[in-house]
Chain A
Amino acid sequence: QKEVEQDPGPLSVPEGAIVSLNCTYSNSAFQYFMWYRQYSRKGPELLMYTYSSGNKEDGRFTAQVDKSSKYISLFIRDSQPSDSATYLCAMSANSGAGSYQLTFGKGTKLSVIP
């Protein structure tokens, strides 16, 4: 079993739809959870960062973490064509050496159709 599982998609939605992206993980030591957005041929851009369980909202984006289920989600409201990108979940734990290496999901490719 991989440490982080993410459906690669592709996922196509009409403009204005609510998008739900998810990741599951197996390592209970993960405490820090991030969502990155990566446009084609560009580096990942940090979208959301959450520590431990709970919800976090930033504009049209909401991140949810359920540590009991080892499940994290990213919701995008009122999706726009400019949201079309690959979304990567990432998570880390305190390795004891303070390195906090990130473990990434494979990424979900999202297309928002005008």
Chain B
Amino acid sequence: GAVVSQHPSRVICKSGTSVKIECRSLDFQATTMFWYRQFPKQSLMLMATSNEGSKATYEQGVEKDKFLINHASLTLSTLTVTSAHPEDSSFYICSARRTPFQETQYFGPGTRLLVL
């Protein structure tokens, strides 16, 4: 159990375009999902916490207007990178928790974004 999927797994786009990444919990309901970014040889950096039906909470330094998060259902959260630039190229990973009181997180396989 506790399977989390992400789509797409890899995306290449031109500078200035927007890219949407989907995160789905396949076999459980996730009231909370998290979005992370990971640069090469670095650890995961939390970008935002997404609660179903409410606005996401962004970490300091993460632009909420650039990284739009929508958590419209208990199994789906989306991250949209708006007007992407080469510096946004990174590995984006989502994770999900089963309930508000579950301490562990289950991660998706990640999405590699390359902005040309």
Question: A residues touching B (Cβ–Cβ < 8 Å)?
Answer: 8, 32, 34, 36, 41-46, 49, 51, 88, 92, 98-102, 104-107
> Which of A41, A46, A88 makes the CB contact (< 8 A) with B110?
A41
Q: Which of B62-70, B73-81, B100-108 contacts A (4 or more CB under 8 A)?
A: B100-108
Q: Which of B12-20, B39-47, B82-90 contacts A (4 or more CB under 8 A)?
A: B39-47
How many B residues touch A, CB cutoff 8 Å?
27
Q: How far is the CB of B1 from chain A (nearest CB, A)?
A: 11
> Which of A45, A49, A98, A99 makes the CB contact (< 8 A) with B107?
A45
Query: Which residues of A have CB within 8 Å of B42?
Result: 106
Known: A32-B103, A92-B103. A44 touches B46 (CB 8 A): no
Query: Which residues of A have CB within 8 Å of B107?
Result: 36, 43-46
The CA of A43 and the CA of B41, in the complex, are separated in Å by 14
A-B contact pairs, 28 of them (CB 8 A): A8-B41, A32-B103, A41-B112, A42-B110, A43-B4, A43-B6, A43-B95, A43-B109, A44-B44, A45-B107, A46-B106, A46-B107, A49-B104, A51-B103, A88-B43, A98-B101, A99-B32, A100-B97, A100-B103, A101-B34, A101-B46, A101-B49, A102-B46, A104-B43, A105-B43, A106-B42, A106-B43, A107-B43
